[in-house]
Amino acid sequence: MLLIANAEGWPGIPTTVDLLRSGADSLAAMVAGIGEVEAETKVRSVGRGGWPNMLGEMEFDAGVMDGTTRAVGAVGAVPHTLHVARLAHEVMKRLPHVMLTGAGARRFASEIGLPQEDVLLPDSRRVWWERLEQELPPEALGRFPDVPLAPLLKAITDPERVRDTTVYLTADPRRGIHAATSTSGWAWKYPGRLGDSPIPGAGFYADSRYGAAACTHTGEMTMRCATARTIVLAMKLGHTLRDAVALAVEELRELREGFLGGVVIHAVDAHGQHQVTNFRCEGEIRYWLWEDSMPEPELRAAQTA
Ligand code: ASP
């Protein structure tokens, strides 16, 4: 059994490891761990600690994939709901659909008993408003939100500093290979913007026969390259894990126009190997690794592409 998760996933690692050790279903174990990440205010990119969109509203994205059945559940731009990884899991288990967004996702959350919550921290609201005050003249601030948002997007966006996701991957010869993600997305994003975290094939993908991948950072890059699916498909076509990730990095590198930014790729294969690769993100990127031979999960450094 192998678990990898990005560094931001720390609050949920003990729970997920305990559940995996006790033989729990892998996706249920990851969703339970991610629930703790979503509740942790110190994690400033997921759940309660995350940043709002340009209107000061929280909109969460999440996805889960069962690599054995290739069943997927995903939710995007969900308001007033903390535990969106669980919501995505319930979409997968209960509905004939793969993805729900916005008001429909919130409605389904109520149907399954997830409370409607005000998930914006007072501190996040303060930072958001101060950012707007810096950019908008007083007259426009007085009219806010009745102002065009698109021009503001360029001015107030600093995605390298204010975005991340939590991603968890598990691989086990008996229980299969699976993926789960959750995020508040790009801080100060245009309302309704979806990143890659709820998009199967871009932000996550799993196939128990070959492996899985999940990405953090610039969803605008991985959505254009279908990065997670590319890696798993490359392994299906006979590439090693290392070559499959190298191929996906090459595709990201080929992008020359549009919004460009860093990406971190987390990947596992069906032989118990894993690789975490930093493509153009500043600073040291780390991740959690736990294998059932290890007494405790370990924080490791990602490779640089
Ligand atoms: N990939 C996420 C998104 O684009 C955010 C992140 O991981 O930084 O929404």
User: Could you count the other beta carbons within 10 Å of the beta carbon of residue 129?
Assistant: 13
**Region 110-123: what's the mean pLDDT?**
96
* pLDDT surpassing 90 at residue 107: yes
- Average pLDDT of the segment spanning 54-75: 97
pLDDT in tens, 182-230: 999 999 999 999 999 999 999 999 999 999 999 999 999 999 999 999 9
What whole-number distance in Å separates Cα of residue 300 and Cα of residue 193? 32
Mutation test residue for ligand 1: of 184, 218, 264, 265, the one with most atoms within 8 Å of CB = 218
For residue 165, which atom of ligand 1 is closest to its CA? Answer: 7
Each residue's pLDDT tens digit, 84-105: 999 999 999 999 999 999 999 9
Contact of 173 with 14, CB cutoff 8 Å: no
Confidence of residue 159 (pLDDT cuts 50, 70, 90): low
So what's the pLDDT on residue 289? 98
Average pLDDT over residues 114-121: 95
Identify the three-state secondary structure at position 195.
coil
Q: Among this protein's residues, is 230 annotated catalytic?
A: no
Q: Which atom of ligand 1 is nearest to the CA of 189?
A: 9
From the CB of 185, is ligand 1 less than 6 Å away? Answer: yes
User: For residue range 12-25, what is the model confidence (pLDDT) as tens digits?
Assistant: 999 999 999 999 99
Cα gap 67→125, rounded to integer Å: 38
Q: What is the pLDDT of residue 154?
A: 76
From 16, 81, 165, 222, the catalytic residue: 165
Q: Report pLDDT for 157.
A: 67
- CA 27 → CA 50, 263, 272, distances in Å? 23, 24, 18
Residue 94: partners with Cβ closer than 8 Å, 6 or more residues away: 112
Cα(32) to centroid of ligand 1, in Å?
A: 21
The full set of domain ranges for the chain reads 2-304
- Answer yes or no: is pLDDT of 164 > 80: no
Mind listing the pLDDT tens digit for each residue in 230-256? 999 999 999 999 999 999 999 999 999
**DSSP per-residue string spanning 261-304:** --EEEEEEETTS-EEEEEES-SS--EEEEEETT-SS-EEEEPEE
Mean pLDDT of the chain: 95
Q: Check residue 153 and give its pLDDT.
A: 83
Identify the pLDDT of residue 163. Answer: 66
- Contact indicator for 262, 217 with CB cutoff of 8 Å: yes
Helical pair 26-39 and 13-21, crossing angle rounded to 10 deg: 160
Q: What percent of the chain has pLDDT over 70?
A: 98
Tell me which residue has its CA closest to atom 4 in ligand 1.
Answer: 219
CA of 216 to the centre of ligand 1 (A): 5
- How far does CA 164 lie from the centroid of its chain? 7
The rounded Å distance from CA 75 to ligand 1 centre is: 14
At 155 the pLDDT is: 73
CATH for 2-304 (3.60.20.30, 3.40.630.40, 1.20.1250.20, 3.30.390.50): 3.60.20.30
The DSSP code sequence of 79-137 is -S-S-HHHHHHHHHHH-S-SEEEHHHHHHHHHHTTPPP-----HHHHHHHHHHHHHHS-
